[in-house]
Structures are given as C-alpha cells and as structure tokens.
Structure 1
Amino acid sequence: MSLKTISAQDAAALDKDLMDARLGGFSLDQLMELAGLSVSQAVYRVHPPSKGKNILVACGPGNNGGDGLVAARHLIHYGYKPTVYYPKEGKNELYQRLKTQLHNLSVPFISDFPTALQSSDLLIDAIFGFSFKGPLREPFASVISQMESTSVPVLSVDAPSSWEIESGPPPEGQPGAKFVPQTLISLTAAKPLVKWFTGGRHFLGGRFLTGSIAEKYGLELPEYPGIDQIVEVDVNGAGKL
C-alpha cells in the first residue's frame, strides 16, 4: 500500500474537520493526547528503556510542543527519565495543564539545552510541525544546529524542525540544512517532506481517522497492528510489517 502525502493546507483543514462537532467531534485535548501517545509508542519501539532511559524532549510553543509534553508524561510511566526543554511556552491554558501534569510527576524542565543533550540517550524533536514557516529565531536556530551535529539519536514529531512541509530542508548554510533525524513519526498522514527523509525508520501515528474523513482527503487507512497507535512505513510511504 502506498500512503498519500497531505499538504500543509490540507493538514490544517483535516484538523479542523476532526474538531468540527458534526464531522469529527474531537477536542484539541483529545487529538494532542492521541498524538503524544503515538510519539511515546514510537520511542518505545525504536529505543526501549534497556537502550537508555534519559530522554530529552525539546518542545516548541505550538501544538507540536504540546505533543511532546504529552509524550513525556507517557514515557515516565514506561520507565524512562524524561527531561523537557521548553524555552517558549504556549499561551493556551491546555499547555499549562500539561506542564502541571509533568511537574506532579517530578519531570524536570531545563534551560541549558547543550548540557542536557550531552547526558541524553535519545532526543525528541517536538519543536515545529506542519505549520512551520521560516526564518528560524533564537533559541531554536541554535538548538537545531546542535541537533544537526549531535551523535544522540533524534526522533522528530511530524516534521524535522526547520524543514518546510512542501520543500523539505532549508537551503545550504542555514540551520537545519543537513539535519536528518534517525526516526520520523508522521501524525495523521505523511507530509510531502518525507521524500527528503533518509533516516532509518518512519512511523505513522493517529489511529482515529474515520473512513469518511480519510476519503475526503484521499487517504488510505493503514492497518494498525494489535492495540498500537503507530504503524511503521518505509521511507517512500509504503506499508511495512
């Protein structure tokens, strides 16, 4: 099966349909919870706790960062030791509640990204998602440059941060031009940027689409195994067992 990619415009419209009371009936909280759960399962699949428990979660100010906060909560229950870098917090009250949940679990929030990265076994890149438009601003330009050069494996949420959804990595010489994470999890549907993704593993997450919404956007729903919220696909989008 070949998985169709979906443009940034259609991805935004699809999210709107999912939150339409008559079409999808989902709340933002629900979608973020399902996305974060999917991310946490992808982490467990590629990097079980036996490979190292120190997970650094880099979060941006939008929904992609919220997905990272949710993932961190699940990871601590799986036996990991997540640490969160969240320099520009989202203004929505939802993000504050996600922070409270992590504080109540004693998950540390740090401001020194380079030092935290040195002691991490895996980095979750939850900075920018499908709505990203450049240019990069600090502190994220520096953070992405460090992600680009680190030997710590990186799992990117929906998009490698700094990449444009339609055109992939930024031009040569800009932060992120050579950034390719080892793992990518596409949420709801793969985006056109996957054609530039040459990392080792690619997952699709979001086991909640209805047949009617999938049909509207020309998406063929994959068969998710068992109770998993993720399914692995190859870099070209074809189904992978």
Structure 2
Amino acid sequence: FSFSGEVRQPFRSAIQALNDTKIPIVSGNLDGAGIRPTMLVSLTAPKEGAIDFTGPYHYLGGRFISKKMESKWGLSLPDFPGTDQCVKLNGHPNEGSGAAATGSATTSEAKKQDVGAKMDKHFMKNVVSQSLA
C-alpha cells in the first residue's frame, strides 16, 4: 500500500494528465506518486505524505483508532461529530484540527470557498451517505 522509487511510464503520463486537468481530484490517502488532488481523504489518520498536501480540502475518514491507540502512537485526531464516519480537517493536514476556518476572503478565495462548499456537500451526499445506504 505504498509507493517508492521512480514513477515509470505509462503512469508518469497519467499522473501528469491528472495534475494538468481543471477537474477536481479526490484522493484516498497520498501515495507519493506525485498526484496533486483538490481533496484528500486520509483514512484512519493523516499519513506522513499529507504534510506536503497543498489542496484546500482535507478529510479524515474512519473512526478506527481508539483513544488508547491514539495516545500510544502520539496522534492528535479530531473528534468526529455524532456518528459521522468522516470529519473535515482545516489548517495544516497533520494538525488534527476540526475547527472551522476563519478570516476574510478575497474574490478569488471566495470562489474557491464556494467550489469547496459544493465539493463538501457533494462528498457528504454522494460518498458518505451512499456508503451508509
């Protein structure tokens, strides 16, 4: 479940095409292969590679880590609301903060936030809700 070494063809071209597209990309974890997703869903806990994630939307998916394991491994995971299976992370991907982002937005930032809100809504409606159906 990990990647190491040089990316070879035809994967290098496919990764480049994904990075060049204007279509938002959602990635489950980061594998170090060079894909730059718009939204990252870290499963169980943010991985080391998430430290370099620069996209605006980072979710933690799965409530698999007990408080005892969290303490043992030195993790700082956010609380999941209610019975939700994912929580949005803000700020730096490895901060483990579920707090809402604050601050004023420029027009460009406002557009990004609008797109992000739509992605968030779509993600929750079509991915999370469908997985529970």
Normalization by structure 1: what TM-score?
0.37
Question: How is 1:1-241 mapped onto 2 (pairs within 5 angstroms)?
Answer: 63=1, 131-159=2-30, 161-162=32-33, 176=34, 179-236=35-92, 237=95, 238-241=97-100
User: How far is 1:160 from its partner?
Assistant: 5.5
CA gap of 1:192–1:161, structure 2 versus 1, over 3 A, is closer
Q: Deviations over 1:48-97 (max 9, x none)?
A: xxxxxxxxxxxxxxx5xxxxxxxxxxxxxxxxxxxxxxxxxxxxxxxxxx
Q: Distance in 2 between matches of 1:194 and 1:230?
A: 16
Q: Which residue of 1 aligns with 2:113?
A: none
Larger relative contact order (Cα-Cα within 8 Å, sequence gap ≥ 6): 1
| SS of 2:18 mapped into structure 1 | helix
- SS of the residue aligned with 1:142? helix
Please state whether the residue corresponding to 1:180 is helix, strand or coil.
Answer: coil
Identity among equivalent pairs (%): 40
Match of 2:86, as an amino acid?
I
Q: What is the distance in 1 between the residues matched to 2:57 and 2:69?
A: 27
Q: Which one has a bigger Cα radius of gyration?
A: 1
- What code does the residue aligned with 1:157 have? G
- Root mean square deviation, CA, Å: 1.9
- CA separation in 2, counterparts of 1:155 and 1:139? 21
- Distance of 2:15 and 2:58 partners within structure 1: 20
- Worse-superposed segment, 191-200 or 206-215: 191-200
Equivalent residue of 1:132, what SS?
coil
> 1:207 aligns to what SS in structure 2?
coil
Which residues of structure 1 form unaligned runs of 5+?
1-62, 64-130, 163-175
Cα contact 1:160–1:184 (8 A) shared by 2: no
2:115 aligns with: none
- C-alpha separation in 2, matches of 1:160 and 1:133: 9
Structure 2: any 5+ residue segments left out of the alignment? 101-133
What whole-Å deviation, never above 9, does each CA across 1:83-135 have from its counterpart, x for those lacking one? xxxxxxxxxxxxxxxxxxxxxxxxxxxxxxxxxxxxxxxxxxxxxxxx21121
Amino acid at match of 1:229: Q
Letter in 2 for 1:219: L
> For residues 1-22 of structure 1, what are the alpha-carbon distances to aligned partners after superposition, in whole Å with 9 as ceiling and x for unaligned?
xxxxxxxxxxxxxxxxxxxxxx
